[in-house]
C-alpha cells in the first residue's frame, strides 16, 4: 500500500513508496517467500527492526502468518541485524543507553533529571492554551541541538492531530537557539492525522523513517483528541481504550527500539470525585496513566507564567517549576 503524508506550508513532507524495496529485502531472508513478505508489509512491518522486535504471536495475529513462519522470520531478521540474545528488547536496552534532550529551560530540565529521556514516553497534560503545543514545538527544535548544548543532534517526527503545528513558530524558536531555521525545518517530518485510525496508520507507517531520518523525538499532539471525539458512548469505551493501549505500546516500542524520546500531549477533564485541590486530571484513564513513563502537568500561573509540575516519574521526586512562553520559546522565569 502507498501512503502519502500531508503537506503543511512548506514544512517537510514524507512520501512513502518504498514497500517494493523492502519486499526485496524480506524475500532475501531465509524462509521468507513472496506471500509471507507481502503479508508482513501489508500488516505494516516495513523495517527489519519492526520484525526483530516482535513476538511470534504478534506476527501471527497482525500478519496472518503461521507460527512457525513467524518464528523463522523473526530469527532471520534478528540474525540479519546481528541480534543474538534472547529478546530484541534486551539487546536494545543493553546496547543503547538513555539519552536526554534539553527542554530549553534549565529549571524544567532539572525537574526532569536532565531533560526529556529516550526509551520512554513523556506526557504533558493541561487545559486549553496552557502551552502543551508550545513545548512540543520547542522540543522539535532542541532535539536537533548539538550534544554539548543539550540536544542529541537528531530529527523530529511531529504527528499533529489538531492542525496546530506552525512552521513559523519553529523558525522563531530555531533562531532563538541560533540554529538555521530551514535546516531545522528540514529535520522535522510532519504528519497530519485526521482520525484516530489515520493517526494509528500514520504512526505505523512512519516506522521505516525513524532510522533512515535519524529521528530522536516523536511528538504526538494531541494523543487522544481523535479517540475522545470518535468514541463518545459508554458502549464504545472499552474499544477506545483497547485501541489507545495498542497505540501507546507502538510508541513505546519505537522509543525502546530506536532509542528515541516520545512526547505526547493530553487534555484534562473535570474529575467529579475531587472536591479539594485541582479539579482536573488527564484524560484517557489508566491506559495512559500506566502507559506513559513520565507525566507533566502544565497550567497558567500568575502574570502569564506557566507552572509545570512533575506528577509521575519512575524515580524522580514530585516538584514544580515556573516558565514563561516568549517569542524565543519557553524560558526560565
Stretch that binds ligand GTP, among 5-13, 79-87, 121-129, 240-248 (CB under 6 A): 121-129
Contact by Cβ (8 Å): 262, 122 = yes
Among 18, 90, 327, 332, binds ligand GTP (CB under 6 A): 327
Nearest of 278, 332, 296 to residue 120 by alpha carbon: 296
Query: What mask of x and - would describe binding to ligand GTP in positions 157 to 196, judged by CB under 6 A?
Result: -------x----x---------------------------
Q: Is 326 in the site for ligand GTP (CB under 6 A)?
A: yes
Stretch that binds ligand GTP, among 59-67, 184-192, 204-212, 320-328 (CB under 6 A): 320-328
Contact by Cβ (8 Å): 293, 286 = no
Stretch that binds ligand GTP, among 102-110, 113-121, 127-135, 206-214 (CB under 6 A): 127-135
Q: Is 118 in the site for Mg ion (CB under 5 A)?
A: no
Among 54, 103, 122, 133, binds Mg ion (CB under 5 A): 133
Of the pair 30, 129, the CB lying nearest Mg ion is at 129
Distance from C-alpha of 323 to C-alpha of 300, rounded to nearest angstrom? 10
Of the pair 169, 253, the CB lying nearest ligand GTP is at 169
User: What part of residues 147-206 is at the interface with Mg ion (CB under 5 A)?
Assistant: 164
Q: Is 275 in the site for ligand GTP (CB under 6 A)?
A: no
**Which cell is 214 given?**
535519524
Of the pair 44, 131, the CB lying nearest ligand GTP is at 131
**Which cell is 163 given?**
492542525
Minimum Å gap between C-beta 303 and ligand GTP is: 12
54 binds, among Mg ion, ligand GTP, none (CB under 5 to 8 A by kind): none
Q: At what angle do helices 167-176 and 132-142 cross, to 10 degrees?
A: 60
**How many residues in the shown chain lie near Mg ion by CB under 5 A?**
3
Among 56, 126, 151, 291, binds ligand GTP (CB under 6 A): 126
Nearest of 195, 284, 138, 99 to residue 295 by alpha carbon: 284
Nearest of 62, 25, 21, 71 to residue 40 by alpha carbon: 62
Nearest of 163, 195, 113, 153 to residue 9 by alpha carbon: 163
130 binds, among ligand GTP, Mg ion, none (CB under 5 to 8 A by kind): ligand GTP
Q: Is 132 in the site for ligand GTP (CB under 6 A)?
A: yes
**How many residues in the shown chain lie near ligand GTP by CB under 6 A?**
14
Q: Is 133 in the site for ligand GTP (CB under 6 A)?
A: yes
CA dihedral 311, 316, 322, 326 (to 10 degrees): -100
Q: Is 282 in the site for ligand GTP (CB under 6 A)?
A: no
Binding residues vs ligand GTP (CB under 6 A): 126, 128-134, 164, 169, 267, 325-327
Binding residues vs Mg ion (CB under 5 A): 132-133, 164
Amino acid at each position: 500500500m502507498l501512503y502519502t503524508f500531508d503537506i503543511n506550508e512548506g514544512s517537510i513532507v514524507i512520501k512513502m513508496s518504498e514497500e517494493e524495496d523492502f519486499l526485496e529485502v524480506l524475500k532475501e531472508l531465509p524462509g521468507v517467500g513472496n506471500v509471507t513478505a507481502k503479508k508482513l508489509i501489508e500488516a505494516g512491518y516495513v523495517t527489519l527492526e519492526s520484525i526483530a522486535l516482535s513476538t511470534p504471536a504478534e506476527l501471527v495475529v497482525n500478519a496472518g502468518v503461521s507460527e512457525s513462519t513467524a518464528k523463522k522470520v523473526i530469527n532471520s531478521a534478528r540474525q540479519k541485524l546481528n541480534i543474538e540474545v534472547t529478546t530484541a528488547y534486551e539487546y536494545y536496552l543493553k546496547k543503547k543507553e538513555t539519552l536526554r534532550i534539553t527542554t530549553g529551560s534549565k529549571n524544567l530540565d532539572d525537574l526532569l533529571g536532565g531533560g526529556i529521556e529516550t526509551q520512554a514516553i513523556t506526557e504533558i497534560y493541561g487545559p486549553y492554551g496552557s502551552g502543551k503545543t508550545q513545548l512540543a514545538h520547542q522540543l522539535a527544535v532542541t532535539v536537533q541541538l548539538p550534544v554539548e548544548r543539550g540536544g542529541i543532534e537528531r530529527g523530529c517526527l511531529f504527528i499533529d492531530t489538531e492542525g496546530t503545528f506552525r512552521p513559523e513558530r519553529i523558525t522563531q524558536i530555531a533562531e532563538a537557539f541560533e540554529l538555521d531555521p530551514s535546516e531545522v525545518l528540514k529535520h522535522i517530518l510532519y504528519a497530519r492525522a485526521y482520525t484516530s485510525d489515520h493517526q494509528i496508520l500514520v504512526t505505523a507507517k512512519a516506522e521505516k523513517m525513524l532510522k533512515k531520518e535519524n529521528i530522536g523525538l516523536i511528538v504526538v499532539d494531541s494523543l487522544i483528541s481523535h479517540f475522545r471525539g470518535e468514541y463518545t458512548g459508554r458502549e464504545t469505551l472499552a474499544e477506545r481504550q483497547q485501541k489507545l493501549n495498542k497505540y501507546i505500546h507502538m510508541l513505546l516500542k519505537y522509543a525502546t527500539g530506536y532509542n528515541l524520546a516520545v512526547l505526547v500531549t493530553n487534555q484534562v477533564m473535570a474529575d467529579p470525585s475531587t472536591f479539594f485541590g485541582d479539579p482536573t486530571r488527564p484524560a484517557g484513564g489508566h491506559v495512559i496513566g500506566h502507559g506513559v513513563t513520565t507525566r507533566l502537568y502544565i497550567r497558567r500561573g500568575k502574570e502569564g507564567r506557566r507552572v509545570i509540575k512533575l506528577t509521575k516519574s519512575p524515580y524522580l521526586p514530585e516538584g514544580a517549576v515556573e516558565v514563561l512562553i516568549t517569542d524565543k520559546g519557553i524560558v526560565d522565569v
